[in-house]
A and B are shown apart, each in its own frame.
Chain A
Amino acid sequence: MVNQEDRIIIRTENVNFYYGEFQALTDVSMAFETNRVTALIGPSGCGKSTLLRLLNRMNDLIDGCRVEGRILFEGRNIYEPDVDPVEVRRRIGMVFQKPNPFPKSIFNNITYGPRLAGVSGKADLEALVERSLRQAVLWDEVKDILGQSAMMLSGGQQQRLCIARALAMKPDILLMDEPTSALDPISTAKIEELIEELKKTYTIIIVTHNMQQAARVSDFTGFFYLGKMIEFNVTEKIFTKPDMKQTEDYITGRFG
């Protein structure tokens, strides 16, 4: 066992996933530790995003898809019929590959989710905005322009805003699907620093195509190939002496 059992916050058990006839994931069992960063790596199309979106039920939006197996979040299968996916998504936030702020002001981008979840009162909302923006290391850059449209920000700022927006819901887990792939090196470095900081409070699961990034930011790494989890271990081990030949080939750039 790779993980410490008592630290596991979410785990998949023998998960198969189908888009219609096409099987995108095969028998995936892995566990994620709380307050740790777990990276998912693997060649394009191997099912990393699919797995990530399974963890907060974002795949529910896709017509004709099907899940087998269990995904236990704090011991409870989130695919039980009586589980509300909206509730799951409140506790498991997500940051997407392309920054996707709403065409609203910076302030309203952040308060959008919390307001609908019942947070009200000007002071509370303002405090929440400041807290979230500080956590996403964006506060100093935008504190004077909170009323301006989020669309005016740079790509890197937009992505940090999206992180702040997700954090404002105070989730337990933050899923990040290639959060820096659309960004320049400086913004990327900022977000990597941010991840380091965020793991004190949150559990982070990040998909990345950037090997250095996975090595730098993560504690655990899972390597996927053709819908299967090939190897899952402490990041250092994966990047220094992986058990599987496929993993080694991928990491050293021999395929992928």
Chain B
Amino acid sequence: MTTTAIRYRYIKQTVFFGLVRLSAFILALALGGILAYIIVHGISALSWEFVTQPPREAMTKGGIMPAIVGTFYLTVGAIAVGLPLGIVSAVYLTEYARQGPVIRVIRIGINCLAGVPSVVFGLFGLGFFVVMLKFGSSILAGSLTLGFLILPTIIGASEEALKSVPQTFREASLALGVSKWQTILRIVLPTALPGILTGSILGLGRAAGETAPIMFTAAAFFTAKLPTSVFDEVMALPYHIYVLATAGTNIEETRPLQYGTVLVLILLVLGIDLVAILIRATIRRRKKW
């Protein structure tokens, strides 16, 4: 090879690595920038009172405790709806269904579902759960809507996790005269569970910050009291931010509250992600196959 060719290749490589580095850097910068901006503006609003008290004086003072509690219930509800349904679907798709046209169509359907804008889920929830099933605007309706929103993510994560269970585990169990169903229940699912949880929780973190799916199905503009049943409306962090920033009477005056709420929401989402990462790290250490 001529020296110019080598030189040329070297330059190409340098430019390429440079670009890769640059895009990674831009990404980090964007994330860091957003975080820094929110922390700078929101940190002053954070206080013990802010996270433990309901809003006062037409939401221009006080805290956001009902919204934190509401988001917590909605998130737990969403996982309670999405996880069992998602796992069962994934088990069916990977372990039972014969691969063929029907399954292909179902898969395409799931992928489409993942691409549906969240406001469509919100309207579906409104039409189906709130109005038709008469759940009203409630934790139940909101959880169901969010549950369906994260269903494709959970199915995807579960399928991945189930496929990564070594075939030899299944064979070992079946060869002992254990039925397929028991094999899935006792060997395949427990082995896949950490992976399923990690993927699902990451999806949940995103759902916790969604506004559109809950604004018609669960979120209250303002309520100081905490919910006592699943049929109660609740305040929720994303919707509260939306309300403060667009519909309040004193938008400018509540700026610090808005940033404070955003900060709390981000901390919550990052906290949820952290749980997922910790679960993954624990299994990586334990995993030996």
A interface residue numbers (CB < 8 A to B): 56, 58, 61, 63, 86-91, 93-94, 96, 98, 100-103, 112-113, 116-117, 149, 151-152, 162, 165-166, 169
Contacts of B1 in A (CB 8 A): none
Q: Give the Cβ gap from B260 to chain A, nearest Cβ, in Å.
A: 45
Chain B residues bordering chain A, tally (CB within 8 A): 22
Q: A86-B178, A102-B187 are in contact. Are A112 and B171 (CB under 8 A)?
A: no
Q: Which of B168, B177, B187, B191 contacts A96 (CB 8 A)?
A: B168
With an 8 A cutoff between CB atoms, is B98 at the interface?
Answer: yes
Determine the distance from Cα of A2 to Cα of B175 in the docked complex, in whole angstroms. Answer: 29
Instruction: Assess the B177–A169 pair: CB atoms within 8 A.
Output: yes
Name 15 A/B residue pairs within 8 A (Cβ), A-sorted: A61-B171, A61-B174, A63-B98, A89-B177, A90-B176, A90-B177, A96-B168, A96-B171, A100-B166, A100-B172, A102-B172, A102-B187, A103-B169, A151-B289, A169-B176
Instruction: Assess the B175–A56 pair: CB atoms within 8 A.
Output: yes
Instruction: Assess the B288–A86 pair: CB atoms within 8 A.
Output: no
Contacts of B174 in A (CB 8 A): 58, 61, 89
Beta-carbon nearest neighbor of B166 in chain A = A100
Contacts of A151 in B (CB 8 A): 288-289
Instruction: Assess the A103–B176 pair: CB atoms within 8 A.
Output: no
Instruction: Assess the A112–B186 pair: CB atoms within 8 A.
Output: yes
Contacts of B287 in A (CB 8 A): 103
With an 8 A cutoff between CB atoms, is B182 at the interface?
Answer: yes
Instruction: Assess the B171–A113 pair: CB atoms within 8 A.
Output: no
Q: A58-B174, A166-B175, A169-B177 are in contact. Are A100 and B169 (CB under 8 A)?
A: yes
With an 8 A cutoff between CB atoms, is B173 at the interface?
Answer: yes
* A56-B175, A165-B176 known, 6 other contacts, Cβ within 8 Å: A86-B177, A89-B174, A89-B176, A100-B169, A102-B187, A112-B173
Q: Give the Cβ gap from A229 to chain B, nearest Cβ, in Å.
A: 24
Contacts of A116 in B (CB 8 A): 178, 182, 186
Q: Give the Cβ gap from B99 to chain A, nearest Cβ, in Å.
A: 8
Determine the distance from Cα of A152 to Cα of B289 in the docked complex, in whole angstroms. Answer: 11
Instruction: Assess the A91–B172 pair: CB atoms within 8 A.
Output: no
Determine the distance from Cα of A165 to Cα of B178 in the docked complex, in whole angstroms. Answer: 13
Q: Which of A56, A98, A112, A117 contacts B168 (CB 8 A)?
A: A98
Instruction: Assess the A149–B288 pair: CB atoms within 8 A.
Output: yes
Determine the distance from Cα of A61 to Cα of B177 in the docked complex, in whole angstroms. Answer: 13
Which residues 177-212 of B have a CB within 8 angstroms of A? 177-179, 182, 186-187, 191
Beta-carbon nearest neighbor of A60 in chain B = B174
Among B176, B179, B182, B289, which residue has the most Cβ atoms of chain A within 10 A? B176
Contacts of B177 in A (CB 8 A): 86-91, 93, 113, 117, 169
Instruction: Assess the B176–A113 pair: CB atoms within 8 A.
Output: yes
8 tightest A-B CB contacts, nearest first? A90-B177, A113-B176, A151-B288, A100-B168, A94-B175, A89-B177, A100-B172, A86-B179
Q: A102-B187, A112-B186, A116-B186 are in contact. Are A162 and B288 (CB under 8 A)?
A: no
Determine the distance from Cα of A91 to Cα of B176 in the docked complex, in whole angstroms. Answer: 9
